[in-house]
Amino acid sequence: MQKISLAIHGGAGTILKELMTPELEQEYTRALNESLQAGYVILEKGGRAVDAVQAAVMSMEDNLLFNAGRGSVFTNKGSHEMDAAVMDGYNLSAGAVAGVKNIRNPVELATAIMQHSNHVFLCGTGANEFALNQKIKMEPDEYFFSQFRYDQWKAMRDGDSYALDHSNAKVEALMKDKKFGTVGAVACDKNGHIAAATSTGGMTNKKYGRIGDSPVIGAGNYANNKTCAISCTGHGEPFIKAVAAYDVSCMMEYKKLSLYDAMYEVVNKKLVAIEGEGGMIGVDAAGNIAMLFNTVGMYRAARNSHGLEVVKIYGD
């Protein structure tokens, strides 16, 4: 019988139990469980993997705990620029969006691009125009404001540095027990079709319209029924250079590695060699799940129809 599976992540980085309050840990656990439920119920009802990953990611985009959608970080200009991607392993269809503003759920826009345009990747004002055409839900600037994000940005805005929420020492005093990150999901449905989705608000204080790996097909997000569905999180530049998500697929296809072994090669060897900090989640068409990272922790959760159900934060 085909195994249905779903895995999600909410970012990887310096996530230490000693810096986490019981209350905040409970909030993260609840948020990850909500995302897992949002996607898994679709798979349980016989729905498609691509719909499940969108639902799981939208749940995290709506939660201020995560650096995506509503919880996105501030750019150097004090605004929000969001990126997202989705890919269907059944037919290799994909949609991606970068540098959009006021979009409540960027992953929903990425899916609309995949399904209702002749393109794969849209950015900036053009992507926002397409969103209006597709009646994608918009929100005012105030919707994306959080005091913590604002304080974090204020501490950095007068300098030239930028930061992943969960790794830069300069903002460690502000971070304390609050760690945030890119979100993503991968799934395998009852037909053995797989899909991946990823969404992010990028780096705090980013300039020049910087875009990381999250919306780049093959770098931060990839899905192919022949091999795997992958969603990445971490320092985007090395993931782009490594074409990290596609590299996992290549090693499965050409070297015949298992999902876990291919992901291990990329996360713990290839990325480490170019100082690429982060992690990834993956699933194959048999419903196998792997969640690997080379950082201290990664917000992650997984569930399948064979009894697996796990929610983890730290590197245990």
Residues with active-site annotation: 182
What span, in angstroms and rounded, lies between the C-alpha atoms of 165 and 149? 9
What span, in angstroms and rounded, lies between the C-alpha atoms of 115 and 93? 8
Which residues, including other chains, have CB under 8 Å from residue 292's CB and lie 6 or more apart? 260, 263, 264, 267, 268, 279, 280
Helices (H) then strands (E): counts for the chain: 10, 12
Nearest CA-CA partner of 284 in 245, 228, 232, 230: 228
Q: Which residue type does 298 have? A: M
The answer to whether 161 touches 170, Cβ cutoff 8 Å, is yes
- Strands 121-123, 93-100: pairing kind: parallel
Site of tokens 């037909």 = 191
Q: Any bridge partners for residue 218, and if so which?
A: none
The answer to whether 278 touches 296, Cβ cutoff 8 Å, is no
SS3 per residue for 183-248: EEEEEECCCCCEEEEEEECCCECCCCCCCCCCCCECCCEEECCCCCEEEEEECHHHHHHHCHHHHH
Could you tell me the two tokens for 292? 């690997």
CA 181 to chain centre: 8
Query: In Å, what is the CA distance from 262 to each residue of 92, 109, 227, 256, 300?
Result: 20, 30, 10, 9, 19
